[in-house]
Amino acid sequence: MSDLFSMMAANADDRPGRRKTRRSVIIADRIADWVIRIGGISVILAVAGIMLFLAEVVVPLFTGAHVGAIQSYLVASMDRGSLAASIDEHKTVAVVIQPDGRMVGFHVQTGAPLEVPSPDLGGKRPTAVGQTLNGESILIGFEDGTVRFATLRIAPTVIGADQVPANLRRLDQRDQTDGRVVISSIPGNQFRRTDVRIAIEPPQKLSERPIIAADYRTGGTVERPTRSFVTVDADGVARLSRAESRMNLMTRQMRTSIDTTTMPDLPAGVQVKSVLLTNKADAVLIAARDGTVFRFDTRDFRAPKLAETTRLLPEGEQLTGFQFLIGEQSLVVTGSKGTTDVFFTLERANSGTPDNLRLTRAHSMERHAGAVNEISPSLRGKTFATADVTGAVWVRHSTSNQTLLKLEKDGAVSTYAALVLTPRNDGVLAIAGDGRARFWNVDAPHPETTLQTIFGRVWYEGYQSPVFTWQSSAGTDQFEPKLSLIPLIFGTLKATFYALLFAVPIALLAALYTSEFLQPRVRAVVKPAMEMMASLPSVVLGFIAALILAPIVEDWISAVLMAFLALPISLLIAAYLWQLLPRAVAIRYGGALKFVLIFATVVASFQLCVWLGGMLERIVFAGDIKLWLTGSIGQGTAFLSLMFLPFALLVVSWASSRAFDATLDGLITGHSRIVVGSVAIMRWAMTMAVALALAWLAAWLLTSTGYDPRGSLVDTYVQRNTLVVSFAMSFAVIPIIYTIAEDALNSVPEHLRGASLACGASTWQTATRVILPTAMSGVFAAIMIGMGRAVGETMIVVMAAGNTPILEWNIFNGLRALSANIAVELPEAVRDGTLYRMLFLAALLLFVMTFVINTIAETIRQRFRRRAASL
């Protein structure tokens, strides 16, 4: 018989067409193979290309500053120093006021001299100059105790080709001059005319002694400008003055009146080096040469008082520089040993001053090799330039606490008499006493960004200590950008954590129930319905969360919080009651009716929470949850008890099962279903009671040490908060986790399920101890995919989270995620600007986070898969 079958098989193999695969099949297989290869390689290349593009945009944030062309030339001698210097924003014309009042003008890039008008000082010698940060408004103090107001403008005007003067001399590729004005060609066949204008007002008598220090601030309107200034004379008498000018509308003449108050006397022997006035004239700082600073509170103009006396430099070091940065919250102090520090005026509890303010060192910057003799602050940020007596010129940034550039020295210059940083921070002009001038064209596009400012704590103006914070823009140039990504990363992780905290248990338990307990007929309806939930657009979920869910949660917050405990407890009670039913009844109605009863239990549980929410609020939150959250009423013991209850329940359940399972199994063996169910209910009730007592005891012990969860775990309630976001995001994530996990559970070989049941295990034991461990690779992949969905969620977070970049775990407060920040701020970011590149860095971080999470997930999934394959 075996020989017969062998012959038949041999004959069958010899039949034509059966031994060779058709050529069309081979060709199709090869085409599919190459399509798959090309598709896979294309995906890899696309992902790599995206990452390279993001990196290309981000890298300039960390490449630092650069020096361009360097120009050296001779100008008028500055052997007696300079009173003031200024450059226009286009790096065209520079003007220097010499100690005798003469003005020297020249072309910035070539040094070509220009005729500029000098003010008529009436033969008087200036002894002090104060000016606003932009250099346009100047106060000149004289040796006879008078002061004069002056306005210096380097005025650019756009003109047409027909307005260009004749007989111009070319200076460089862009500029021409007739010796007085500079004409620059600009795009659009237009020209820019730059000339110097100065106006000076009559002298005002302030003192009988020479003015040795002064500072000046302006305000008001064009018709009624106000001016505040402070002066110190040779006797050390400081005076604060307010000048108000009124324009005669008929003659267009200005009439100025000055109101002056004398400051409290300085200690005898103080040698005044410099004086500063704030823009609101509410504080005056007088600095002595030994580094001692006297801070006066001048909010009451008629009664100024000395608020603080402090020494800002170490003993033995003399003060060489004292200058505000833009915004007047950062004070740059330099010394004779190269010290360069930045101070803030901050409120301190134990300051010992009448106004509770104290000058506090915020940044200690890199030291110069010699005494710093010149400071030039920026008009557009916290950048400033310093020069020392060795001829070294550095460009620095206060917020990032870094030296951006150390400019190349001129070997023929030992020290500089004038230093100017251009208005756009793109050039530095230094002039030596013998007239040698050097101009560095510089490029520092992103001075605020370092790894420390992006990922570390930074001490910003007005803050009591270094912090992580994000605030990228404001309405004025005085603003200090705050570009820490830590609050955004934290917000992303916070939203993801709370969303998964809700989504993972619900999705996995639903998948387990659908796969192992639900009848196939009902499962065929439930699973597609759950999968359809994933098709809802996130913008719709965000809209519903922000405009519908958030107000409801705010109005019924106590009921919502109660639902976290009431819902699982209600389902457990219903499950125990179902066990009391006769077996025949339970089996007969264990399909659709049981599923309907589950939903009815959920609805009843929510209705119970609505009814009893007020009682919970009175017991746990002293009658008002919002006031309780602020710490105004109540204690934290009851709330902590609820927080500890799930953990206490796990501990008590584990301990009771270890201690009593064997005994109870022996006692109930052979009894009816009703007896077994009643014993289970009583055991669960006792377990719950013991867990409640244990949770309350742990909470009482913790609060007795002085701990209060308010201000840390929970805090002030805002309507659009993390709780609302987590509800909406979990609604988006649950279908994904459920679908993948349910497929993984259903793919477990049927023989494993049958073997477990045949050995006497219950359906629940089989599901949790056989099916779930075997499908763990797929279940873990489902959780990781859901996590990736939550990390990258944008619209729900934008619409429902409040967009507050704060570092708080408080679930009742808002957040700002990386993805939401990109969506909100990218439309307003200037291309290639700092904010633009920072947003791309946020995108790169999201890319890397997703890549790392997926890599870890795949590694763990493969490990679970190998373990399951051994079964």
Confidence of residue 475 (pLDDT cuts 50, 70, 90): low
Confidence of residue 2 (pLDDT cuts 50, 70, 90): very low
Sign of the Cα torsion 400, 403, 405, 410 reads positive
Looking at the DSSP bridge assignments, the partners of residue 480 are: none
Confidence of residue 455 (pLDDT cuts 50, 70, 90): very high
Helix (H) or strand (E) holding 842: helix 834-869
Confidence of residue 221 (pLDDT cuts 50, 70, 90): low
Q: Which residue has the higher pLDDT, 335 or 587?
A: 335
pLDDT at site 572 = 86
The per-residue pLDDT for range 723-765, each reduced to its tens digit, is: 999 999 998 999 999 999 998 888 888 888 888 888 888 888 8
Looking at the DSSP bridge assignments, the partners of residue 340 are: 334
Distances, alpha carbon 715 to alpha carbons 277, 622, 626, 659, in Å:
40, 15, 9, 40
Closest to 844 (Cα-Cα) out of 485, 457, 469: 485
pLDDT at site 223 = 62
pLDDT at site 12 = 46
Q: Residue 456: pLDDT above 80? A: yes
Burial of 607 (0-12, 13-18, 19+ CB in 10 A): exposed
Q: Residue 545: pLDDT above 80? A: yes
Sign of the Cα torsion 549, 551, 552, 558 reads positive
Strands 113-114 and 292-297: unpaired
Calculate ∠ Cα 824-826-829, nearest 5°.
Answer: 125
SS (H, E, C) 203-259: CEECCCCCEEEEEEEEEECCCCEEEEEEEEECCCCEEEEEEEEEECCCCCCEEEEEE
Burial of 585 (0-12, 13-18, 19+ CB in 10 A): exposed
Residue whose pair of structure tokens reads 């206490």 in the numeric block: 648
Confidence of residue 3 (pLDDT cuts 50, 70, 90): low
| CB-based contact 503:516 (threshold 8 Å) | no
| CB-based contact 797:488 (threshold 8 Å) | no
DSSP per-residue string spanning 510-522 = HHHHHHHTS-HHH
Distance separating alpha carbons of residues 161 and 437, to the nearest angstrom: 33
Distances, alpha carbon 285 to alpha carbons 293, 307, 362, 698, 834, in Å:
7, 10, 18, 55, 34
Q: Residue 1: pLDDT above 50? A: no
* Range in 125-139, 196-210, 660-674 the model is least confident about: 660-674
Q: Residue 10: pLDDT above 60? A: no
Closest to 854 (Cα-Cα) out of 778, 785, 775, 751: 785
The structure tokens listed for 145 are: 């105790």
| CB-based contact 176:183 (threshold 8 Å) | yes
Average pLDDT estimate for 597-608? 87
Q: What is residue 659's three-state secondary structure?
A: helix
Strands 427-432 and 254-262: unpaired
Q: Residue 83: pLDDT above 90? A: no
Residue 793 carries which side chain, given as an amino acid letter? E
Average pLDDT, the chain: 87
The structure tokens listed for 1 are: 């018989």
Sign of the Cα torsion 352, 357, 358, 360 reads positive
Q: Residue 233: pLDDT above 50? A: yes
| Chain mean position to CA 742 | 39
Q: Residue 687: pLDDT above 60? A: yes
Crossing angle between the packed helical segments 637-668 and 673-704, to the nearest 10 degrees: 150
Confidence of residue 5 (pLDDT cuts 50, 70, 90): very low
Distances, alpha carbon 674 to alpha carbons 204, 570, 594, 682, 736, in Å:
105, 20, 19, 12, 39
| CB-based contact 90:194 (threshold 8 Å) | yes
Crossing angle between the packed helical segments 834-869 and 818-825, to the nearest 10 degrees: 150
pLDDT at site 834 = 92
Percent residues over pLDDT 70 in the chain? 95
Distance separating alpha carbons of residues 384 and 789, to the nearest angstrom: 45
Residue whose pair of structure tokens reads 């795949």 in the numeric block: 858
Helices (H), 669-801: 673-704, 722-746, 750-758, 763-766, 772-774, 776-791, 795-800
Q: Residue 305: pLDDT above 90? A: yes
Looking at the DSSP bridge assignments, the partners of residue 334 are: 321, 340
Confidence of residue 244 (pLDDT cuts 50, 70, 90): confident
Q: In the chain, what's the furthest Cα-to-Cα distance?
A: 137
Q: Residue 256: pLDDT above 60? A: yes
Distance separating alpha carbons of residues 835 and 826, to the nearest angstrom: 8
Average pLDDT estimate for 123-149? 89
Q: Residue 851: pLDDT above 80? A: yes
| CB-based contact 514:525 (threshold 8 Å) | no
Work out the number of other CB atoms within 10 angstroms of the CB of residue 55.
Answer: 13
Distance separating alpha carbons of residues 378 and 368, to the nearest angstrom: 19
Percent residues over pLDDT 90 in the chain? 42
Distances, alpha carbon 374 to alpha carbons 333, 397, 429, 506, 579, in Å:
11, 16, 12, 67, 87
pLDDT at site 21 = 78
Distance separating alpha carbons of residues 63 and 445, to the nearest angstrom: 10
Measured distance between the N- and C-terminal CA atoms of the chain, rounded to whole angstroms:
39
Closest to 548 (Cα-Cα) out of 193, 851, 799, 760: 799
Distance separating alpha carbons of residues 131 and 120, to the nearest angstrom: 18
Question: What is the side-by-side order of every strand in the sheet holding 393-397?
Answer: 372-377, 383-388, 393-397, 402-407
DSSP state of 786: H
pLDDT at site 222 = 62
Looking at the DSSP bridge assignments, the partners of residue 347 are: 357
Residue 16 phi, psi (nearest 5): -65, 140
Distances, alpha carbon 486 to alpha carbons 56, 447, 492, 566, 828, in Å:
22, 19, 10, 36, 21
Q: Which residue has the higher pLDDT, 11 or 454?
A: 454
Closest to 87 (Cα-Cα) out of 144, 156, 28, 147: 156
DSSP state of 827: G
DSSP per-residue string spanning 256-309 = EEEEEEEPPPPPTT--EEEEEE-TTS-EEEEEETTSEEEEEE-SSTTS-EEEEE
Calculate ∠ Cα 81-203-417, nearest 5°.
Answer: 5
Q: Residue 435: pLDDT above 80? A: yes
Q: Provide Rg for the chain, Cα atoms.
A: 39
Q: Residue 24: pLDDT above 60? A: yes
- Across 335-349, 571-585, 663-677, the highest mean pLDDT is recorded for 335-349
